[in-house]
Structure 1
Amino acid sequence: MTTPTRDALAAVATLLAPSAPQVTERALAAHDDPEAYLRDHADRLDERGIDEPFAGLPWIALVDALTDHGRLAEVDWKEAPDEISGRLLALRSAPAADELWKSLAEIDLPTYEFLETAGKQLLTTGTALAVLDIESDCYPLVLLPATQADDLVTLAAKAGFTAAVYGR
């Protein structure tokens, strides 16, 4: 069963985890059969306070799958910059830029301002910092080639969700 929304969701998953088809499979499982996905992942979803299907379940499934595959760092709205830097550096998609990561860890700004600053600095390496909005008080953060940032935002919107790029 293919629909434009489903296809866009699959495209986002593939864009963010091209070598991990399991990420796409999990997001599509939540899209195709939310009840079964809820049963199969009840413990994990319970941690988020989710106990029934809702329209955002495929996006949550994507966030969780990306996290499990080292492609997403979920940080609190008031996380310290050094902690955010450390989590981003641990992502499989993090650029090898030691001086950049060191300088980011030393910045002292509120979380949102730090993300904007980090986004600008990461763009100089050809990497975009983006958030997959799950309408929560956290920031699910991904790193991707800057050349694909607009695709992420467009595909997320086509899938019915929101992604935004920092530092532009």
Structure 2
Amino acid sequence: MTEEARLQILEQIAGIITGDDQRAMEEVRLCTREPQVYQQQYCGRYRERGIDLPDAAGNDLQWLGVADILIEHGYAAERDWKDEKEDFIYFLSQLRPFAALGLSIQEDELDEDDGIDAWCEILARQWSAEKVRVADFGIDSDSYVLFLAGEEQLSALQKLAKQIGQWIT
């Protein structure tokens, strides 16, 4: 795969998740097309993740950059693997697509002793009529970068991510 094809796929993934939000996509294009400028401008984000910029691989930096852009623009929320139920519900409900999709969470169905994986399965059942899933933008960490996607979108996103050596679940 050419570098140009990889960048186009990365931009396509971001476009699907953000609904081609102009402001978010401008930042994504800066991350993909001018990575050194982006990394210099947002080096604090990488430092927070414990990443030493000169030593990190460019492909992974761009993937992480897109994850951070999704978070910054309200399309994703990064949650620790041991997240509290109340925090999980709060941050999911604050995602930009949540209200637009007309979603609600029946909190009593989520067991406080479970974790994110179990809660996402329950939400998949709750939202089966809307055909919406909570997806994870894989960043090879003990945290989740969660976003909302329609079932068909999620399938397309998973295929695209795989093509560039990344993963979305």
TM-score by length of 1: 0.84
Cα distance, 1:128 vs. partner?
1.6
1-structure distance, mates of 2:52, 2:39: 7
Contact 1:20 1:69 in 2 (8 A): no
Give CA deviations for 1:89-137 in whole Å, capped at 9, x if unaligned.
Answer: 1111113233x34345x43212322223223333332212110000011
Any residues of structure 2 matched to 1:6-17 within 5 Å, and which? 6-17=7-18
2:154 is aligned with 1:153: no
Cα distance, 1:74 vs. partner?
0.8
RMSD, matched Cα: 2.1
Give CA deviations for 1:57-94 in whole Å, capped at 9, x if unaligned.
Answer: 11111111111111101110000122111111111111
Contact 1:28 1:58 in 2 (8 A): no
**DSSP 3-state at the match of 1:133:** coil
1:137 is matched by which residue type in structure 2?
A: D
User: 4+ residue runs of structure 1 moved beyond 4 angstroms?
Assistant: none
1:145 is matched by which residue type in structure 2?
A: G
Identity %: 24
Contact 1:42 1:51 in 2 (8 A): no
1-structure distance, mates of 2:20, 2:123: 26
**DSSP 3-state at the match of 1:123:** coil
Q: Which runs of 5+ in 2 are unaligned?
A: none
1-structure distance, mates of 2:50, 2:33: 21
2:94 is matched by which residue type in structure 1?
A: A
| Farther off after superposition, 36-45 or 7-16 | 36-45
Cα distance, 1:37 vs. partner?
2.1
Which position in structure 2 is the counterpart of 1:96? 102
1-structure distance, mates of 2:129, 2:84: 23
Which position in structure 2 is the counterpart of 1:132? 137
What is the aligned length?
A: 162
CA spacing shift, 1:138–1:59, aligned 2, 3 Å: same
1-structure distance, mates of 2:61, 2:30: 10
2-structure distance, mates of 1:34, 1:67: 18
Q: Which runs of 5+ in 1 are unaligned?
A: none
Cα distance, 1:34 vs. partner?
3.0
TM-score by length of 2: 0.84
1-structure distance, mates of 2:3, 2:82: 39
1-structure distance, mates of 2:108, 2:132: 16
1:126 is matched by which residue type in structure 2?
A: K
Contact 1:153 1:163 in 2 (8 A): yes
Cα distance, 1:6 vs. partner?
1.0
Which position in structure 1 is the counterpart of 2:72? 68
Which position in structure 1 is the counterpart of 2:22? 21
Which position in structure 2 is the counterpart of 1:163? 168
Q: Please point out which of 109, 116, 120 is paired with 2:125.
A: 120
**DSSP 3-state at the match of 2:136:** strand
Which position in structure 2 is the counterpart of 1:32? 33
